[in-house]
Each structure stands twice: as structure tokens, then as C-alpha cells.
Copies of this chain bind each other. A is one copy, B any other.
């Protein structure tokens, strides 16, 4: 399989061109492009360029707003409720996270929730904005229902991701960015396409029973929460998915649970709920970053069970992927993705991703 190397800057410009061509405000297009490029750069291809066409369609169809800015509806020194005005998720997310950081500078913490938002790309992007200020950042979003609660057989929760980023010394950090389902839908789809079975504990069939057949998960079944079955702790993952929903749809007064529109069906506005938190370690015990570094070292320097697979900390796989991109001199994309996106560009009348001739095999 060959992959096509494209520079980060080119992908950034490309997404901006496509989004602006359908009427997106330039600074909104820039925000979206940054989050998607970051997704790819960190190796989360399911939340990168690959999804650009969805955002293009959302703007084209008018289901997502082109104009305006998010509005603060209610505010205290430490909290805010924001109306995202149905703008692109990254526009809402950046606005809220920056507000949370501002509050954390003043009173040590900012807890900001938004309704009227849309898909915002990788949750980690917003949490990591806090790292630049030497703060802890968190971000949560609800999503379309894809997850079946423990003992159930209906999808009533989204993959409801959460992200927590914490700075360590010397620019190092802990970045947890995870769905509260055992795996993302994309992983099931990949196994289905390859006709491979999935491991026990990823998804269930339409009767709510764990299955290793990806087709059953995709046709009437669903993802299961982290932990899998009830006896292996799946009810904990289910509880965490609910927690994210409490912070997002419930606290913000957005859509929630099975009321969120079906995945990929854009018959009505998404009205997602999202939550953004910044915590200033300066308000707590001195020496935070040094302790973080020690905590990370303890894990990373542990003797691994298999010498070929060192113990990592959250954020390390992404760091390795970014390093790989630097070494290669670009982000490697599957040629099909590049071709598909170039077709999109053609349709909206902008120039294609260039150059497309730097191929690597992997």
C-alpha cells in the first residue's frame, strides 16, 4: 500500500481553501483546518482530513452556521454557559477553551459548557490549549448514539470522548484523549472491510451480546463501553459515558443521549453539548510540573512485560507519530484519501493537494 506525503502547511491551506469556497469565514476555516491537521499529525486519521467533506457538506447545506460568533449566555468568575450559535465545532471549542483559560488565570479554574455546537475534531486539541499556559486542560463532547449501555441492546450514548492534558517539565506532557467506548467505530469498520473478526469486548450484536463479527456490530448492534461485558467492568465504561453526557448535553442544555441526531444523518442541526475546563496548578501545591515529570518517568522507565513494547504514557503514541511525520517531512495519507479529497476540491472549485507525487510504502 502506498501513501502520499503532504506537508502540514499544505493540508492546512487545502482545508481552508475548500471551506472558504463554500462560504466559511476565513478565521473559522482556519480553526477547523488546525484541528483536523492536528488530528492527522497525531495519528488520529479518523478525525482529520478524512472528515473534511462532512464539514464542507455541513456548511454547503446550511445545517451548520457560516456567520456569527459564539455568545456567552451566563457567566461567573469561574464558569460560563456559551451558545455556540450552531457554528463549526472548533470555533465553539476554541472560544470556550480560551474563556476557561482566562478564568483559570483569575480564579484558578474555568469550567465552560456550550450548547449549539457541532463536531469539534479531536478532544485533545482543546485540552492541549491549556498546556501553553502551563495549565491542566480538559475537554468533553457528546456525540451521536453509537454505544449500547451494559445490559441493553439499543444505542443510547455516543462514544462521548474525554481529554485531559497536564504539563510536565521541559515541554513534556500527559495527554489522555479517549472515547468512553472500548474502541472507535472506525476500527470496527476497518475490520469489516478486511473481513477480520474483532476482539471480544469491542461491540455487541442487535441482541446486546458481545460478538466478534464486525458486521453484526455495524448492522443493528453497537459499540460497547470500555470494559466490555458487565463481569469485566463494562458498567464502569458505561458510567463514564454517562458522566461525559452529564457534563455536556445535560449541563449545557443541548441534545443528549438518544436525542442526538443519528451519526452521519444531517436532517437537523446537531446541537451538541461540550465542556471545557482549565485548571491552574499555581493555585495548588508548588512543583506541579516536576512531579508530573516524575510520574511520567516512573511509568515510562518501568521494565516492560515484553521488551519490544515499552510502557508508554498517554500522549506518547501521538508524540511518536508526530516524530515520524517530522522525519518523513510530511503527513502520510492513503492515496485514496488524497484522491477523494481532490475530487471534493474540484467540486467546490479550488486547487488540489500538492504535490501528490511524494509516495512512501508502508
Contacts and interface: CB of A to CB of B under 8 A. Distances in A.
A252 B279 CA distance: 13
B151 A304 contact: yes
A186 to B, nearest CB: 14
A236 B111 contact: no
Interface string A255-267: 0111000000000
A324 interface: no
B182 A233 contact: yes
A78 B109 contact: yes
Nearest to A302: B152
Interface stretch (A32-40, A241-249, A353-361): A241-249
Given A151-B306, A153-B305, A182 B232 contact: yes
A328 interface: no
B81 A285 contact: yes
A226 B228 CA distance: 9
A134 interface: no
A261 to B, nearest CB: 15
A209 interface: yes
A314 to B, nearest CB: 4
Contacts of A202: 232
B257 A178 contact: no
B298 A258 contact: yes
B237 A226 contact: yes
A345 interface: no
- A interface, size bucket: 35 or more
Contacts of A249: 291, 295
A9 interface: no
Contact of A256 (B108, B178, B281, B295): B295
Interface in A212-246: 226-228, 231-233, 235-240, 242-243, 245-246
Copies per complex of this chain: 2
Nearest to A232: B201
A154 B300 CA distance: 12
A310 B292 CA distance: 42
B76 A108 contact: yes
A79 B152 contact: no
Interface of A: 74, 76-79, 81, 107-109, 111, 113, 115, 136, 149-154, 156, 164, 166, 174, 176, 178, 182-183, 199-202, 204, 207-209, 226-228, 231-233, 235-240, 242-243, 245-246, 249-254, 256-258, 279-281, 283-288, 291-292, 294-295, 298-299, 302-306, 309-314
Given A174-B246, A239-B314, 18 more contacts: A74-B283, A78-B78, A79-B108, A111-B279, A149-B299, A151-B309, A152-B303, A153-B305, A156-B298, A164-B246, A176-B242, A183-B233, A209-B305, A233-B237, A246-B292, A246-B295, A250-B295, A256-B295
10 contacts: A78-B108, A79-B280, A111-B279, A152-B302, A164-B246, A199-B232, A226-B237, A227-B228, A254-B285, A258-B298
